[in-house]
């Protein structure tokens, strides 16, 4: 498909304004806000209404078994092998055919995200940095999004960690709601990622007070006082 055909189709689907905005972000300038979140590893998670899923097999990711990502995450095989060789802790979930359908990673040390954002994420003693959590569409809305975090937390607690930290893109509403559902708290820090002409990247940390996620929180159930008789 030619570039002009793709451009025409995108304009028809999204409109001219949205198309120009995407072109600007991709080829001229973009700014992403990554909100720092944290949580202890022992407080129970709040109740949820996620649906169950068929049993999956959990395996620790190694350079040798990374081929299991071939069917659903074919472009990640090399990345998964690299992360395993660097000593990070990775879990993948395999279906009955032996294909990886979900994965998540944890790093006890400062993490250099050269595969995506390109910056360093510092990790303090006792913490671990959680990253890369992803699952195929068939498992969206299931308890797998909870289970693969709980299992990673246990594995990292066994390595001496007592807190999980990570970052979440401010525009990724489903991911932010998942963090709220899991009981994460905002640290009041933002890693700002700027990209110029699709080539140069710049990074800056800023801080804020209060909460930037209150609008995403479900209001507490209202109580109606009983009428006196």
pLDDT digits 0-9 by tens, 81-111: 999 999 999 999 999 999 999 999 999 999 9
Question: Could you tell me what percentage of the chain is helix, strand and coil, using 3-state DSSP and rounding each to the nearest 5?
Answer: 30, 30, 40
pLDDT digits 0-9 by tens, 110-126: 999 998 899 999 999 99
Q: Is residue 132 pLDDT above 50, yes or no?
A: yes
d(Cα 126, Cα 106) in Å, to the nearest integer? 13
Of the pLDDT bands very low, low, confident and very high (cuts 50, 70, 90), residue 228 is very low
- Residue scoring higher pLDDT (50 or 24): 50
Of the pLDDT bands very low, low, confident and very high (cuts 50, 70, 90), residue 29 is confident
Q: Which residues pair with 130 in a beta bridge?
A: 106
Residue 210 tokens read as 């209060």
Are 177 and 159 contacting, i.e. CB atoms less than 8 angstroms apart? no
Identify the residue whose tokens are 């806000």.
Answer: 33
Rounded mean pLDDT, 13-20:
64
Sequence length of the chain is 229
**pLDDT value at position 83?**
97
pTM (two decimals): 0.85
- Residue scoring higher pLDDT (210 or 222): 210
Q: Distance from CA of residue 154 to its chain's centroid?
A: 18
d(Cα 129, Cα 132) in Å, to the nearest integer? 10
| CA angle, residues 10, 13, 19, in degrees to nearest 5 | 45
Half-sphere exposure at residue 103, Cβ-oriented, CA atoms within 13 angstroms = 26
Q: Is residue 9 pLDDT above 70, yes or no?
A: no
pLDDT digits 0-9 by tens, 34-49: 999 999 999 999 998 9
d(Cα 193, Cα 34) in Å, to the nearest integer? 8
The candidate with the shortest Cα–Cα distance to 124, out of 74, 83, 151, 160, is 160
Rounded mean pLDDT, 128-134:
96
- Residue scoring higher pLDDT (170 or 27): 170
Of the pLDDT bands very low, low, confident and very high (cuts 50, 70, 90), residue 229 is very low
pLDDT digits 0-9 by tens, 135-192: 999 999 999 999 999 999 999 999 999 999 999 999 999 999 999 999 999 999 999 9
d(Cα 119, Cα 111) in Å, to the nearest integer? 8
């Amino acid at each position: 498909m030619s570039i002009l055909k793709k451009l025409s189709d995108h304009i028809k689907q999204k409109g001219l304004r949205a198309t120009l905005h995407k072109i600007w972000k991709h080829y001229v300038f973009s700014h992403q806000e990554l909100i720092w979140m944290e949580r202890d590893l022992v407080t129970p998670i709040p109740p949820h209404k996620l649906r169950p899923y068929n049993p999956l097999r959990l395996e620790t990711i190694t350079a040798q078994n990374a081929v299991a990502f071939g069917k659903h995450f074919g472009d990640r095989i090399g990345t998964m092998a690299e992360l395993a060789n660097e000593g990070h802790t990775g879990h993948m979930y395999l279906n009955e055919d032996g294909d990886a359908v979900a994965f998540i990673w944890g790093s006890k040390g400062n993490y250099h995200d050269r595969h995506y954002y390109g910056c360093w994420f510092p990790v303090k003693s006792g913490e671990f940095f959680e990253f890369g959590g992803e699952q195929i569409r068939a498992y969206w809305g299931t308890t797998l999004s909870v289970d693969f975090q709980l299992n990673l937390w246990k594995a990292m607690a066994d390595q001496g960690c007592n807190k999980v930290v990570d970052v979440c893109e401010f525009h990724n509403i489903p991911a932010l709601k998942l963090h709220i559902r899991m009981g994460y708290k905002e640290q009041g820090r933002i890693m700002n990622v700027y990209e110029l002409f699709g080539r140069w990247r710049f990074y800056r940390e800023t801080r804020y007070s209060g909460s930037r996620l209150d609008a995403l929180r479900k209001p507490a159930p209202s109580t109606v006082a009983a009428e006196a008789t």
